[in-house]
Amino acid sequence: MKKLILLICFLFQQVFIFSQDKTQPIRDVFDNYKSAIMAGENSKAIEFMDTRTLDYFKMIHEYVLTADSLTLESLSIMDKFTVLSIRQMATRKEILAFTDKSIIDFTIRKGMMGKNTVEGFTLGKISVKDNFAKAQILEEEKKSDKYYHFYSDGTQWKIDITSLFPAEEKETAELIQQTGKTENEFILGILEIMSQKKVSPSIWKKIK
């Protein structure tokens, strides 16, 4: 009987160790990404982003250059805010010089995706299936309804920053409703606070 109990305990221990080993690379990626953001090592942080995140900013880059007011009004709150933020805080010369990756560096430096987006965040429960992982975000050690997604190419896990956007979109929409302002009034007000200057009507116009 004693041997049976020891065997069961051993098996449970092995299952636990396997589970830990399976999720540890994901936790490492998040910790490394967070550390890079907190240290201002933006290029290093970008290396931990998956293709979905890179493709998203490639799309944002295109919108910053070519979206007119009608196109902007058709975008989600998050996308519209990101495009208008970049137009508000970057010079025309900077915008024309952006690459798909340097525009990410700019959003991090200007606080759109900076320390405030990871500070106090840790990962809670992680579920893994094949090359996909979903991790609950803990905010100051408290469970939230936010999740990060991670994808593996078979050799390395990377973080999908855009997986956080649906929850952020919902929170922003609720906040706008509480203020009694229109979506655009809210966004422009935030832009003035962030940039510390009046918003020019030109941000609604395409760059080229």
- pLDDT tens string for the chain (208 positions)? 554 454 454 444 544 444 457 899 999 999 999 999 999 999 999 999 999 999 999 999 999 999 999 999 999 999 999 999 999 999 999 999 999 999 999 999 998 888 888 999 999 999 999 999 999 999 999 999 999 999 998 899 999 999 999 999 999 999 999 999 999 999 999 999 999 999 999 999 999 8
Domain count, the chain: 1
CA dihedral of residues 107, 52, 115, 118 (deg, nearest 10):
160
Where in the sequence is the domain holding 170, given as residue range(s)? 2-204
Helix (H) or strand (E) holding 158: strand 157-160
Q: Please check whether residue 110 is in contact with residue 194, taking contact to mean a CB–CB distance below 8 angstroms.
A: yes
CA distances to 157, 158, 162 from 26, rounded to whole Å, are 6, 8, 16
